[in-house]
């Protein structure tokens, strides 16, 4: 599996803080947001390489970040050549650039992640769910209250957990299921992504591609039973910093105070078992390769 990291945005809503510093490199809990993301992603043992796509303005910063890390897999940084926000290509086009740079094998799946969505849970169990389902998988969070208009990608599922509709930040949200910017893509997605871009599909956000994709191949949804922050404003950045605390604070691990990562792992397993029971899928079916 290849890990694709999308980090080519300019975060204009957080200026002046992000005018000269990429949002994924902002610190939370004593380390960059991106460090949290990569560490949690690499709990998936089959990931053997990562590609991060950024813009031309922040390329040197990400090169330094990649060089200073001690990851168990090589991390390649590429850029799309864009220097200003009003020239950006869009996340879907950037995703295609990163996939081409990753050179995945014909039957190799992808994990695609937004570089600014802070998570405090390992992704290995979601990878197991992806392989059990045998379909591409979008990771979602069921919100406690109504979804704010024009804020999150909205997911609607059927009784078997298959996505029937995906709307990118709708002004009239109807579902409480929010996309988290984490996508497990089966190999069949790659030719469809090329088709989408060749047909001039909307390239600004991955959600536009998902809106198109779910009507062509099965895409499942799975919940995240752990901390997740969509760091899109100074307010949500402050919330994330308060939740994760300093590096030596128990909250920095992403688990609630008094709860170890192992405990959080068990909570996630239980949540996924409950999801599968609710969907009538059983608990013990063996993994099968995604189509």
DSSP tally for the chain: helices H, then strands E = 8, 13
Tell me whether residue 134 is in a domain: yes
Number of domains in the chain: 1
Tell me whether residue 284 is in a domain: no
CA distance 18 to 14: 6
User: Quick one: which of 229, 215, 196, 275 has its CA closest to 121?
Assistant: 229
Tell me whether residue 168 is in a domain: yes
> Residue 288: is it exposed, middle or buried by C-beta count within 10 angstroms (0-12/13-18/19+)?
exposed
DSSP bridge partners of 112:
4, 183
Ordered DSSP codes for 115-138 = TTEEE-S-SHHHHHHHHHHTSEEE
Tell me whether residue 285 is in a domain: no
Percent of the chain, pLDDT > 70?
84
Tell me whether residue 288 is in a domain: no
Indicate which CATH number applies to the domain containing 224.
3.90.550.10
Sequence-distant (≥ 6) Cβ neighbours of residue 32 within 8 angstroms: 24, 25, 26, 65
Tell me whether residue 39 is in a domain: yes
What is the mean predicted confidence (pLDDT) over 275-288?
41
CA distance 88 to 155: 26
DSSP category for residue 247: T
Residue ranges making up the domain that contains 166:
2-278
User: What is residue 96's predicted lDDT score, i.e. its pLDDT?
Assistant: 93
Identify which of 4-8, 248-252, 256-260, 269-273 has the greatest average pLDDT: 4-8
Q: How far is CA 231 from the centre of its chain?
A: 12
How many other CB atoms are found less than 10 A from the CB of residue 11? Answer: 20
What interhelical angle do 261-278 and 124-133 show, nearest 10?
20
> pTM to 2 decimals?
0.81
CA distance 214 to 256: 35
For 164-192, what is each residue's pLDDT tens digit? 999 888 899 888 898 988 999 999 999 99
Per the prediction, the chain carries an average pLDDT of 83
Q: Is 223 left (phi over 0), alpha (psi -120 to 50) or beta?
A: beta
Tell me whether residue 290 is in a domain: no
What is the mean predicted confidence (pLDDT) over 95-107?
93
Tell me whether residue 166 is in a domain: yes
Is the model's pLDDT at 278 over the cut of 70? no
């Amino acid at each position: 599996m290849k890990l694709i990291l999308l980090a080519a945005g300019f975060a204009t809503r957080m200026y002046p803080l992000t005018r000269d510093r990429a949002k994924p490199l902002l610190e939370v809990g004593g380390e960059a947001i991106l460090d949290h993301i990569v560490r949690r992603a690499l709990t998936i043992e089959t990931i053997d390489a990562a590609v991060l796509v950024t813009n031309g303005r922040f390329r040197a910063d990400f090169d330094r970040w990649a060089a200073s890390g001690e990851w168990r897999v090589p991390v390649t940084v590429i850029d799309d050549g864009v220097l200003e926000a009003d020239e950006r290509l869009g996340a879907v086009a950037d995703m295609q650039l990163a996939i081409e740079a990753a050179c995945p094998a014909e039957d190799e799946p992808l994990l695609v992640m937004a570089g600014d969505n802070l998570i405090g849970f390992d992704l290995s169990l979601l990878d197991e769910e992806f392989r059990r389902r045998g379909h591409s998988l979008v990771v979602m969070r069921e919100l406690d209250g109504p979804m704010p208009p024009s804020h999150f990608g909205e997911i609607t599922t059927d009784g078997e957990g298959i996505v029937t509709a995906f709307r990118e930040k709708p002004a009239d949200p109807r579902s409480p299921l929010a996309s988290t910017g984490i996508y497990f893509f089966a190999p069949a997605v790659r030719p469809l992504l090329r088709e989408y871009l060749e047909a001039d599909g909307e390239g600004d956000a991955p959600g536009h591609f998902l809106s198109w994709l779910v009507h062509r191949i099965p895409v499942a949804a799975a919940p995240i039973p752990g901390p997740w922050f969509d760091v899109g404003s100074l307010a949500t950045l402050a919330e994330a910093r308060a939740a994760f605390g300093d590096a030596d604070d128990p909250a920095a691990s992403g688990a609630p105070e008094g709860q170890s990562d192992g405990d959080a792992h068990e909570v996630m397993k239980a949540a996924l078992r409950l999801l599968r029971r609710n969907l009538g899928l059983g608990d013990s079916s063996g993994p099968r390769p995604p189509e």
